[in-house]
A and B are shown apart, each in its own frame.
Chain A
Amino acid sequence: MTATTPVIEMSDVNKWFGDFHVLKDISLSVSTGERIVICGPSGSGKSTVVRCINGLEHHQQGKIVVDGTELTNKRQSLAKIRAEVGMVFQQFNLFPHLSVLQNLTLGPIKSRGLSKADAEARAMEYLERVHIPEQADKRPGQLSGGQQQRVAIARSLCMEPKIMLFDEPTSALDPEMIAEVLEVMLELADEGMTMIVVTHEMGFARKAADLMVFMDEGRIVETGKPDVFFDAPKTERCTQFLEQILHH
């Protein structure tokens, strides 16, 4: 691990949804090539952290710097950061009216100005990477959940981001589909992609994570290297949580 330059720097980030204090003093530093897995009970704010990093949610206090650009409400800073950050959603959010190939080329053509031919060549390359090039001409609705999520990963990769965010990428999948998605994510991790993954897949976390982050009630309660984190968690709350999810 060459954890040197931080690409994401969150310092004392606070956020409220109305009266609800959803993020409390979140500070987190992510280096290039680092893989971070965030876990915690539902409602702990883990998805919100990830959504703040690419500006889908706005934080009200604190500072988020992504690849040297501070995240503000300004349109330019948002556009600049989103160009570097890919995102994979729990519900895939593929465009149902477009073919798989069009899902992948829409961003590169419209926002990166690639020619159709270049964008399609790139799209096919990434479809190969997620092992479903033969599905290029189908509609998302014709694919299984696992295939849809892999298309969603490929769609993000087509923008050639520096950082990939995963917001519970396997939570909406049938159990037999989870493995194929995690496999793709592991391959991505092996290639050195900087990743922040919100997940309860602890097998994946053990294999891929450089750092585990445990959140509860809007706070980062515990961080640690996976082996330490899993075998000897420091806090009571984290021990409880791990017991519950590892029991199954």
Chain B
Amino acid sequence: MIALSTRFKWLAMCLLLPLLVSGCGNSNLKWYVVSPLTENGRINLKFLIAGTWNTLSMSFLALLISIVVGLLIAIPGIAKNRGARKANMFYVEIFRSIPLLPLILWVYYGLPEIAGIQLDYFWAGVLALAISDSAFEAEIFRAGIQSIPRGQSEAASTVGLNYYQNMRYVVLPQAIKRILPALGNQFAYMVKMSALVSVIGLQELTRRANELIVTEYRALEIYTILIVEYLIIILIIGQGVRWLERKMGSDESGNANQ
């Protein structure tokens, strides 16, 4: 085979995974149900892959919301005011403790009864993922902000910046760079956890796999494809985060603040 860059070696290996599994001498595997070589297989594959959009858009929207909410929750966590810090702790502890699956069910079935808000599958999924993740994002942001030496904020205040300006122009740009790997982790985690939204009926990757199994009765083959789908998505995200890290890291050479 032609030499591939290491970046794509892993991707190629994942794509070969089903073939490897089938080549292990297990003649019971019936790959034709998802084979691109047969008419029916192509239809099935298309059906499975069509879930990618929902999985990705749901995870991405949830990530955006959880970053914003997480940041808003992190700010009182670093305040001098004890009450603010307590409020931050309360939020983090509560939402970190709620398992995602019950939270999804609660948002989808509970919110209409309590608040009269009936979200569709998609937005119920986004909301549950975002709330759950925001507690983790808040802790990541808090750690990131606290890792910036206090002298930075002091210097900012001596050149007249107020709290917001200090955060916006001095602290956060430096903190984001440090927490980027952790944010990448959370995104990968979110993509995987979005599979749980299948239980309320959103046709994302996992739901589609389950639906196909009902008609084709080939669980192993279809779930293998499902795993490979997640694998590819998350490997791509990983590469994307690395690229971002390199890009952001390159504009700060040396270290001014020991």
Contact = CB atoms under 8 A, between A and B. Distances in A.
Contacts of A82: 157-158, 160
A148 B161 contact: no
A95 B152 contact: yes
A141 B154 CA distance: 19
Nearest to B165: A110
A102 to B, nearest CB: 9
B170 interface: yes
A107 B162 CA distance: 10
Contacts of B113: none
B62 to A, nearest CB: 28
A91 B158 contact: no
A155 B157 CA distance: 12
A140 B254 CA distance: 8
Contacts of B102: none
B258 A91 contact: yes
A21 interface: no
Interface string A152-177: 10011011000000000000000000
Contacts, number: 90
A110 B252 contact: no
Interface in A37-79: 54, 56, 79
A108 to B, nearest CB: 8
Given A106-B169, A111-B161, A142 B253 contact: yes
Contacts of B114: none
A82 B162 CA distance: 11
A90 to B, nearest CB: 9
Interface residues of B, number: 26
Interface string B238-256: 0000000000000111111
A225 interface: no
B155 interface: yes
Which residue among A54, A91, A94, A112 has the maximum number of chain B CB atoms within 10 Å of its CB? A91
A229 interface: no
Nearest to B159: A107
B160 A107 contact: yes
Contacts of A140: 254, 256
Contacts of B186: none
A183 B160 CA distance: 26
B158 A156 contact: yes
B255 A56 contact: no
A96 B174 contact: yes
Interface of B: 149, 151-152, 154-162, 165, 169-170, 173-174, 177, 251-258
Interface of A: 54, 56, 79, 82-83, 85-87, 89, 91-97, 106-107, 110-112, 139-142, 148, 152, 155-156, 158-159
List 3 tightest A-B contacts by C-beta distance, closest first.
Answer: A141-B254, A107-B159, A111-B160
Given A110-B160, A111-B160, 10 more contacts: A82-B158, A86-B158, A93-B152, A95-B256, A106-B159, A107-B159, A110-B165, A142-B253, A142-B254, A156-B158
